[in-house]
Amino acid sequence: MAAVTWSNIASDGPARTGWLETPHGRVRTPAFMPVGTRAVVKAVDTGDLEEAGAEIVLANTYHLMLRPGADLVERMGGLHRFMGWDKPVLTDSGGFQIFSLDPKIDDAGATFRSVYDGTRVELTPEQAVRVQEQLGPDIAMVLDVCVGLPAPIETVEREMLRTLEWAGRCRDAHTKPDQELFGIVQGGVDPGLRAESAAKTAAIGFEGFGIGGLSVGEPPDQRNVALAAAIGELPTDKPRYVMGLGDTEGLIDAIELGTDMFDCVLPTRLARHGKVLTAAGDFNLNIRAFEADDSPIEEGCGCHTCRHHSKAYLRHLIRMKEMSAHRLLTIHNLHYTLGLISGAADAIGAGAFAEYANRVRSRRQGSA
């Protein structure tokens, strides 16, 4: 029996909601995974994550294999025990991070310089699987090749085919019975390459599928065409995970197309720069207009930050460079994003997703 399974409980057009069953509990989909790159979601702890509504988090293989090292995490009992998080964990293979380091890529794998000490690091598909088995997440990802867009079609096709070859090697190398390995679809924004990649990745045989190589600079309409092409070739009874997507409009678009899982640093990164997310639009608390504003970030928001603090106080913390500002704004942004996703799941279950999506979009557009 598969270590991780997904079951559909309701659909509303292509949009769907279901349950992802894992060794560390079930997750309702659509699901957003806060990004804990180095085994921590920046500025918050596991209690904050639970209160915000997180059911699964993401950690990054590339960073953890370098610091503190997969051997140490394994000796500490794996990621769940190391982090103090007893809910599901997914690890990205690190393909996107490696892409940002201008690596040397050949059929064997990727060679790059560590961001920590500059040492030469080699990572093969087999090593990526081994490291993730040591880290011990519920879901591991195959090693893929991410291509920055725009790029020549010949480059996109070459690396899509290389990702397919690596996926098969990862599948063969994976041995951990209480962990599931997901494949990754590549192909840039070319619908034909996306469809080919999805069909061939599905044929290898995985219990879930990441759709990678998007949210790297392409326009939303091109992203959506690429998503639709991939979705059309993926099994209907397996989860579809759009990697690196986390803006409000993008999430609604992707759910509308029939995808189930998402991750992104956007909510936490923006918080560290004073920017907050709301249903009526996003704004920066640094501006002087909020100096004496006694209202919360968002009226009616149930997060800890909005229940206890005003915009004026939060702006004060930001300007004084207080570390608590990062935590409080991160709590709100995660609560907002997780609430957006939970609302989408509720709407799909009620057969009202179109109305929900229109309401989200119209409120955001009305604030532009």
Catalytic center residues: 92, 263
CA distance linking residue 115 with residue 120, whole number of Å = 10
Q: Looking at the DSSP assignment, which residues form a beta bridge with residue 31?
A: 261
H or E element, residue 27:
strand 25-29
Cis check for the bond before 68: say yes or no (omega within 30 of 0). yes
CA distance linking residue 34 with residue 56, whole number of Å = 8
Closest C-alpha to 142, from 116, 172, 114: 172
Residue pair 165/131 in contact by the 8 Å Cβ criterion: no
CA distance linking residue 344 with residue 30, whole number of Å = 7
Angle at 56 between CA 50 and CA 57, to 5 degrees: 95
| DSSP SS3 for 322 | coil
Which string of DSSP letters, residue by residue, matches 53-115? T---EEEEHHHHHHTT-HHHHHHTT-HHHHHT--S-EEEE-SHHHHHTT--EE-SS-EEEE-T
Tally of CA atoms within 13 A in the half-sphere of 248 that contains its CB = 25
DSSP 8-class letter at 37: T
Closest C-alpha to 94, from 243, 223, 202, 234: 243
CA distance linking residue 207 with residue 291, whole number of Å = 51
Which string of DSSP letters, residue by residue, matches 115-176? TTT--EEEE-HHHHHHHHHHH--SEEE-------SS--HHHHHHHHHHHHHHHHHHHHH---
